Amino acid sequence: MKKQFAVIGLGNFGFYLATELFKKGHEVLGIDINPKMVQEIRDWVSRAVIADATDPQALKELELKKMDAVVICIGSILNNSILATLNVKDLGVKRVVAKAVSEAHGRILRKIGADEIYFPEKDLALTAAQRLDNPNVLDYLPFMEGYSIVQLAPPSSFTGKSLIQLDLINRLGIQVIAIKELVPENVVLIPTGHFVVKESDVLILLGPDDALNGLQET
């Protein structure tokens, strides 16, 4: 369903976020104080305007209240990030999301009422560390303390074996949630024990981090 988003601050993060949401078919308003940034994004979003988000009046005129979400992507100038978030909150926007560059920045944004906080650098660093540590891990989502969901390219010791033979659940406490087959493209949700793993499959697993980390080529 088509949604309406506003993205404030069109630096690296804001630019990619706004243009990607627009590519996905949503209505996107891009806002930046710097005319150059607004000019650059103009053809890639629904509308782009020059405005100072620290000025409540300027934001009021943009009718942000009707948006499904407003994302504040100002990182480097802390003062502006905080004031912009406060202003957007004061307008009564239903979902206020803000980018933080540090834990302290995130704590402040949460205190002033941001509904969600993104830590892009920290999140990417964790994913990058996970991939470097275990090249079989294609994607990784922390699930709860000590547990993750990973997309895994099966180590060669897995291929040609059935899930019963691998017995990941009893040996390692790892649940196979789904398997993506590439040829032909198909997703098998909660596969049965008879599923035989192919080299080209991608396994989606939920389990303890230690056990997941152990699943790699040796």
Which residue ranges make up the site for ligand ADP (CB under 6 A)? 8-14, 31-34, 37, 52-54, 73-77, 80, 84
Between 13 and 195, CB nearer to ligand ADP:
13
Between 9 and 154, CB nearer to ligand ADP:
9
Between 69 and 212, CB nearer to ligand ADP:
69
Question: Least distance (Å) from ligand ADP to the CB of residue 50?
Answer: 8
Which residue in the shown chain puts its C-beta closest to ligand ADP?
11
Other beta carbons within 10 angstroms of residue 21's beta carbon come to 21
Between 77 and 187, CB nearer to ligand ADP:
77
Give the integer Cα–Cα distance in Å for 216 and 218.
Answer: 6
Question: Least distance (Å) from ligand ADP to the CB of residue 26?
Answer: 20
- Whole-number Cα distances in Å, 3 to 41, 146, 163: 19, 35, 41
Question: Least distance (Å) from ligand ADP to the CB of residue 36?
Answer: 8
Task: Using DSSP bridges, classify how beta strands 27-32 and 4-8 pair: parallel, antiparallel or unpaired.
Answer: parallel
Q: Is 153 helix (H, G, I), strand (E, B) or coil?
A: coil
The answer to whether the peptide bond before residue 56 is cis (omega within 30 degrees of 0) is: no
Our measurement of the distance from residue 16's CA atom to the centroid of its chain's CA atoms, rounded to an integer in Å, reads 12
Nearest by Cα to 120 from 77, 152, 72, 87: 72
Question: Least distance (Å) from ligand ADP to the CB of residue 144?
Answer: 29
Nearest by Cα to 54 from 25, 22, 80, 19: 80
Question: Least distance (Å) from ligand ADP to the CB of residue 25?
Answer: 23
Between 36 and 186, CB nearer to ligand ADP:
36
What's the number of CA atoms in the CB half-sphere (13 Å) around residue 212? Answer: 29
Between 100 and 203, CB nearer to ligand ADP:
100
Question: Least distance (Å) from ligand ADP to the CB of residue 89?
Answer: 15
